[in-house]
Amino acid sequence: MAGEKVKRSVGSWVVISAFLASGIFHLVNPSGFLFLLPDWAPEPILLIYLSGVAEIIAAVGLLLRQKWAPIFTALVLLAVWPANWWFAIDALSTNPDIALAAWLRLPLQIPLIWFALKSPVRA
C-alpha cells in the first residue's frame, strides 16, 4: 500500500544499535580504541573522534530513514575496514590472545554493509 512504512529488518536494527553504541564509546573513551590503529596513524585521537561521529550520524540517518544513510553507513564500514585488517594482522604477533577474534570480526563487516544497504528509507 502506498505510503506504508517498510518494517526494518533485524539486520538494520543490528547496524543501528552497533553504530550508536560504538559511536558513543568512541566519543566517551577514545583512548580505548588506540590499540586498533597503527603507531604511524596521523592524529589517532582525532581519527577515533571522527569515526565515532560518523557512526552516530550513520545510525541516526538509518533510524530516521534518510535516503543518504544506507550508502553513508556502508562507506563508514568500508573506511574503518583497513584499521580492522591492520589490527588483525598486527595481533598475530603482538596480541595472539585476541588474534582469532580480530580475524573472525573481519568477515562480519560484509553482512553489516549488506544490512545497511538494505535498510528502509523514506520515499
Q: Is 109 helix (H, G, I), strand (E, B) or coil?
A: helix
Do residues 15 and 115 lie in contact, with contact meaning Cβ atoms separated by under 8 Å? Answer: yes
pLDDT of 4 > 70? The answer is no
Q: What angle (nearest 5°) sits at the alpha carbon of residue 89, between those of residues 83 and 91?
A: 95
- The amino acid occupying position 71 is I
- Tens-digit pLDDT profile for residues 10-45: 999 999 999 999 999 999 999 999 988 888 889 999
